[in-house]
Amino acid sequence: MSDEDRDIDIESDADDEEGPHAYSSDDKRAHHNALERKRRDHIKDSFHSLRDCVPHDDKSNTSSKTSRAQILRQAALYIATMRDKTTENDRHINILKHQNEELQAQIKALQKSQAVGKSLLPANFLLTDRDDDDEYESYEESHVSSPPSKRKKAKLSKS
């Protein structure tokens, strides 16, 4: 059956019948088949779009023959990976916010001591060891290339 034969002209069929809702069983079947074909095409296009959106390994099968189950598995894995990365980035942001707050407090204290004219802070105030530095540095080493931390700067200046 050609594409032209598949197209259903309901209006012309309705003119031939007695009432607007009187269709033959062949017309109903053809209409149903056309709707089902359209639904399947939409699903197929959606799977192709999903397959194209999800990055795949060089090892994985990236051909057009990738099964729907593989596409869904890859998409679920990608979503889980992105969720984990988001959680890790949120944790890193919170660490940075905390460090920023501490640095802002140190700046205010230094400005206040400078205005008073005498040092209210110990000499090693900026070099104090903080517990969250270790956590931040381990994240930094694995994810970020940045300038050396305060501890590293202190070690470098002593050398």
**Residues 130 and 102: beta-carbon distance below 8 Å:** yes
Question: Residue 145 is part of which domain span?
Answer: 84-159
Residue 30 lies in a domain: no
Residue 91 lies in a domain: yes
Identify residue 119 by its one-letter amino acid code: S
Which pLDDT score is estimated for 116?
Answer: 83
H-type helices in the chain, by residue range?
A: 3-6, 10-16, 25-53, 68-116, 131-143, 150-158
Which pLDDT score is estimated for 117?
Answer: 74
117 dihedral zone (left: phi>0; alpha: psi -120 to 50; beta): left
Which pLDDT score is estimated for 56?
Answer: 79
Identify residue 90 by its one-letter amino acid code: D
Residue 60 lies in a domain: no
Residue 94 lies in a domain: yes
Least confident segment among 12-16, 44-48, 137-141, 142-146: 12-16
Residue 115 pLDDT class (50, 70, 90 cuts): confident
Which pLDDT score is estimated for 10?
Answer: 41
Residue 116 lies in a domain: yes
The owner of tokens 């209409």 is 31
Residue 12 lies in a domain: no
Instruction: Quote the number of domains for the chain.
Output: 1
Half-sphere exposure of 25 (CA within 13 A, CB side): 0
Residue 50 lies in a domain: no
Q: What is the pTM of this model?
A: 0.52
